[in-house]
Amino acid sequence: MKSLTPTPGPLLHDDAAGFLGGAERMERGEHTARFQRDSHDAVGVNPFVRLETDARSTFSIDVDTASYALVRRFLLEGRLPPSGSVRIEEMINYFSYAYPEPRQPAPFSVVTDVARAPWAPAHQLVRIGLKARHVSKAARPAANLVFLIDVSRSMKSSDKLPLVKYGLERLVEALDARDRVSVVVYAGASGLVLDAVPGHRREEILGAIERLAAGGGTNGGQGIELAYALARKHFIGGGVNRVILATDGDFNVGVTNRSDLVELITRQAKTGVYLSVLGGGLGNYQDSTLEELADRGNGNYAYIDDRREAHKVLVQQTSGTLVTVAKDVKL
């Protein structure tokens, strides 16, 4: 397991202790009001299942890591995270482990172990670790990437669109002539910025990303339709075909209902194009929606809270987050 030393952030002191003046209290109150607009699914308790009637437990596999970065941000700001943002599997998945490489022709290796639960010694914990085969940069298949970027008014703050732009710019630097990059933006309406530009034309791609600016409503549904249409148009057989959605999830124009958005993504997933979701910001952050979109889009979900996290997700883990070695994996 890799160690992680977070960059220290400012803590919010208690008003009663007299650390905050009037202006600071007002700012904190506004921040708290915005914080209350965030959306996280409630945490439920799995029911007890009698083995006499049901001896099999089945669950799907994904590599979401958003919860760890999201919880870290809350803690560094001096507040406890909402319980719905704490997803244990994503906190475990955030780190890399020294699992053995799979032996050919297996697409992944499996490691299992059992231990007593520290908080309930009569219970046991089972860990099942999967390690996909390493894909080197030279062996990586060609990529057909569509960046679907929310440029609505809610993305203006420094921890949203600017961070997304930084991360995507770092990803572009790792591409080459085999790859194709398209850029779709959406606010009140959706628009095509780049159409399948070869990856080695970095100046053109980076310039288009740098010029993006936020403003307007959030018509995410229209953007999703356009992004998937482009991905299908430039589909690379045997390659990486993926839409990378960057947003805070605050859809408020067009298709806004969560179930309708999920249905839209589920339908698009059948085309063979996968979905990566990059979330960012607080105040109106729709964590529950973005997690479900990534799940239904056969993709992964990450939260970017600073430049280091953007570099980790979009550069260091490019092979792990873009290249798929097995589909519909269930244990």
What is the three-state SS of 23-71? HHHHHHHHHHHHHCCCECCCCCCCCCCCCCCCCCCCCECCCCCHHHHHH
Q: Can you tell me the distance from the alpha carbon of 305 to that of 186, in angstroms, rounded to the nearest whole number?
A: 22
Q: Which of 32-36, 119-123, 157-161, 207-211 has the lowest mean pLDDT?
A: 32-36
Q: What phi, psi does 204 have (nearest 5°)?
A: -65, -45
Which of the 8 DSSP states describes residue 82? P
Give the count of beta carbons closer than 10 Å to the beta carbon of residue 313: 24
The mean per-residue pLDDT over the stretch 208-216 comes to: 84
Residue 303 confidence class, pLDDT cut points 50, 70, 90: very high
The mean per-residue pLDDT over the stretch 319-331 comes to: 74
Mean pLDDT computed over every residue of the chain: 80
Q: In this predicted structure, what is the pLDDT of residue 18? A: 29
Q: In this predicted structure, what is the pLDDT of residue 148? A: 92
Q: Could you report the per-residue pLDDT of 49-101, keeping only the tens digit for each?
A: 888 998 888 877 778 899 999 999 999 999 999 989 999 889 998 998 999 99
Mapped onto helix, strand or coil, the DSSP state of residue 220 is helix
Q: Could you report the per-residue pLDDT of 143-153, keeping only the tens digit for each?
A: 999 999 988 88
User: In this prediction, what percent of the chain has a pLDDT beyond 90?
Assistant: 34
Residue 301 confidence class, pLDDT cut points 50, 70, 90: very high
Q: Could you report the per-residue pLDDT of 228-276, keeping only the tens digit for each?
A: 999 999 999 989 999 999 988 776 545 556 677 788 888 888 888 988 8
Q: Domains of the chain by range and CATH? A: 100-134 (no CATH), 143-322 (3.40.50.410)
Q: Which of 146-160, 164-178, 244-258, 304-318 has the lowest mean pLDDT?
A: 244-258
DSSP H/E element including 100: none
Helix axes 161-172, 202-210, angle to 10 degrees: 180
